[in-house]
Structure 1
Amino acid sequence: MEKKRVAIDIGKKYKQQFLLEFKNSTSRLYKEKLRFADFPKRVFVESYLDNYGYSKDDQQLLNDVAYFWQQANFNSDAIWLLEKVIDNNPERVVAYLNLADAYWSEGDKKTAQKNYNIYIGIMTKQGKQQKIPSRVMARYNSN
Structure 2
Amino acid sequence: MDVIALIGRILFVVLFFGSAVGHFTQTEAMAGYAASKKVPSPKLATQLSGVVMVVGALMVLLGVWADLGALLLALFLLPTAFLMHDFWAQTDPQAKQQEMIQFNKNLSLAGAALLFFGVYAGPGSDLGLTVTGPLFG
TM-score greater than 0.5 by the shorter chain: no
| CA radius of gyration, larger in | 1
Higher helix content, 1 or 2: 1
Q: Calculate the TM-score normalised by the size of structure 2.
A: 0.36
